[in-house]
Amino acid sequence: MKTVRNTRRNFLKAVGLGAASLMVPKLVSAADKKRPNIVLILADDLGYSDLGCYGGEIQTPNLDNLAAEGLRFSQFYNCAKCSPTRNSILTGLYHQQTDIGRGKNCVTIAEALRRVGYTTLVSGKWHVGGTPMDRGFDRYFGMLGGACSYFVPDKTFRLDREPFTTTDKNFYTTDAFTDYALEFLDETGRKDKPFFLYLAYNAPHYPLHALPEDIEKYRGRYMKGWDVLRKKRYERLIRLGLIDKKWAPSERGADKHKSFSDIPPWEQVEDKKAEDLDMAVYAAMVDRMDQNIGRIVEKLKELKVDDNTLIMFLSDNGGCPYERNKTKDIPPGPAESYRTYDSSWANLSNTPFRLYKRFNHEGGNATPFIVHWPNVIKKRGAITHQVGHIIDVMATCLDVAGGQYPSQYKGYRITDLEGKSLLPIFDGHKRRGHDALFWEFMRNKAVRQGKWKLVTVGDNPWELYDMEADRTELNDLAGEMPEKVEEMARMYDVWARRCKAARG
């Protein structure tokens, strides 16, 4: 692709790296300190509109500031589920193609960047099998599993390779993940070698656990109810320029397949204070994550590397509708509780879209995506409507690092990279995007081809939407355009056979 290649050459020239930097493996040199550091931050079960800079009422000043000084994507996609997203973002492949825990057919970002001289660090939720130390990371702190108490580390916690336990009564996962990330940055950030930090928070994934002082900030704020707050988020998204006013907001729930129980109008809710508390705790978890991201940014400034550090922030899937309340007599918040919010508040989190985590309608797989890189992004506060996907993160990291994706690694043939670099977009250009993008999880399937999206829940009939006219997926055109449905369904089946996904 000519645009990407030229952009990359210009970038490498600007930072003092020549054509030799495209070759791997590469010995560390004085030029390494000019290569950008990379910080990839992943939230867990965060909805499209939860952040302030994406229309939400939750206080997220640090992420808002990164957006104001950087770039926001309005159409960025994940894999709609925790582990699939992590497999995909770390490898640049569709998750059906790879298994980081056991697979020999893939490399992780860490393995690829170590080949070009990067120190590789990870703190947080792993959830892809195996251990980070076996997949190219130099340092690790966090949980190998998918969910745990925020106040008591479970048996999957590790510090590097060793089991981790603590008697610290002030332990809280979001703080602890940041504490160790800061420690790792102190160890490496003053050296000439560039670093890659993957910071994978488990917030705001259930259980609803938050610190009392954070919860108190939000008590009573949700007494207005999900109907009023969803309308306000929708209006703010339009004002911010993230969505088009011609896209009608989806109705409350908007789930014709009845995957979850109907969401009642707020005025019919009996225990409004209990609902307010659920969402107050959820908001507090997001707030605490943002506070800790602020600590990371301050550390980068302290190390005097902030201008040449590429920060990317996104979520692994949309808001979670699952009701998994194991302690119904204990309210959400403290360590002894195990509560979730449900589809009612998840529908608010995913404003203005339909459906939730695990589904491939926009409510499940659309994510905020914030990019901050002062040395490269010159039009600060900009919003791009170009489409991106998490498979693009690996290609982007290699592009900015001057590396190449290997065809073999440790004697094994590596699956060809699926993603495309986002660097042209960061640099203010239009890139040649994907001809098509594909999704499948639990037989929930989708294809995005230009402005068209084909999507279905399970084995229900395909639905077809014009994403330029109707990104909220309300006007199904499948009955009017059967030829387009057939064309895209064939595309899906070709991809599904190639990637070993569920067939249409």
Residue (of 116, 99, 98, 176) closest to 143 by Cα position: 176
| Alpha carbons within 13 A on the beta-carbon side of 61 | 3
- pLDDT averaged over the chain? 92
Vertex 305: Cα angle to 303 and 310 (nearest 5): 135
Element (H, E) at 195: strand 195-200
At residue 24 the predicted structure's pLDDT band, cuts being 50, 70 and 90, is: very low
User: For the ranges 76-80, 110-114, 156-160, 319-323, which has the lowest average pLDDT?
Assistant: 319-323
Q: What's the pLDDT score for residue 257?
A: 63
Residue 5, pLDDT > 50, answer no
SS3 248: coil
The whole-angstrom separation of Cα 251 and Cα 475 is 12
253-299 pLDDT, tens digit each:
766 666 666 899 999 999 999 999 999 999 999 999 999 999 999 99
At residue 67 the predicted structure's pLDDT band, cuts being 50, 70 and 90, is: very high
The whole-angstrom separation of Cα 149 and Cα 128 is 19
Q: What's the pLDDT score for residue 30?
A: 39
Q: What's the pLDDT score for residue 34?
A: 85
Q: Is 127 a catalytic residue?
A: yes
At residue 381 the predicted structure's pLDDT band, cuts being 50, 70 and 90, is: very high
Residue 3, pLDDT > 80, answer no
The whole-angstrom separation of Cα 204 and Cα 291 is 13
Residue 424, pLDDT > 60, answer yes
Which among 79, 82, 106, 397 is annotated as catalytic? 82
Beta bridge partners of 314: 42, 369
167-208 pLDDT, tens digit each:
999 999 999 999 999 999 999 988 889 999 999 999 999 999
C-alpha 19 chain-centroid distance: 32
Q: Match 């600060």 to its residue by tokens.
A: 380
389-404 pLDDT, tens digit each:
999 999 999 999 999 9
Q: What's the pLDDT score for residue 28?
A: 39
Q: What's the pLDDT score for residue 254?
A: 62
Q: What's the pLDDT score for residue 324?
A: 86
The whole-angstrom separation of Cα 57 and Cα 225 is 13
Q: What's the pLDDT score for residue 258?
A: 61
**125, 154, 313 from 140: Cα distances, Å:** 10, 16, 19
The whole-angstrom separation of Cα 362 and Cα 408 is 35
Residue (of 213, 387, 365) closest to 285 by Cα position: 213
Cα distance between the two ends of the chain? 31
| Residue 36: both structure tokens together | 């950008």
Q: Mean pLDDT over residues 325-351, rounded? A: 95
Q: At what angle do helices 392-401 and 82-91 cross, to 10 degrees?
A: 30
The whole-angstrom separation of Cα 319 and Cα 316 is 10
Residue 18, pLDDT > 90, answer no
**99, 228, 350 from 249: Cα distances, Å:** 37, 13, 11
Q: Mean pLDDT over residues 454-481, rounded? A: 97
At residue 503 the predicted structure's pLDDT band, cuts being 50, 70 and 90, is: confident
Q: What's the pLDDT score for residue 4?
A: 42
Q: What's the pLDDT score for residue 402?
A: 97
Residue (of 337, 336, 202, 331) closest to 279 by Cα position: 331
Q: What's the pLDDT score for residue 262?
A: 81
Q: What's the pLDDT score for residue 431?
A: 96
Q: Mean pLDDT over residues 8-27, rounded? A: 42
Q: What's the pLDDT score for residue 353?
A: 97
Q: What's the pLDDT score for residue 20?
A: 33
Q: What's the pLDDT score for residue 471?
A: 98
Residue 388, pLDDT > 60, answer yes
Beta strands at 139-143 and 408-409: parallel, antiparallel or unpaired: unpaired
214-256 pLDDT, tens digit each:
999 999 999 999 999 999 999 999 999 999 999 999 988 766 6
Q: Match 């770390």 to its residue by tokens.
A: 90
Which among 127, 209, 361, 389 is annotated as catalytic? 127
The whole-angstrom separation of Cα 83 and Cα 95 is 9
The whole-angstrom separation of Cα 106 and Cα 481 is 38
Beta bridge partners of 73: 369, 384
Q: Is 385 a catalytic residue?
A: no
Q: Mean pLDDT over residues 127-144, rounded? A: 97
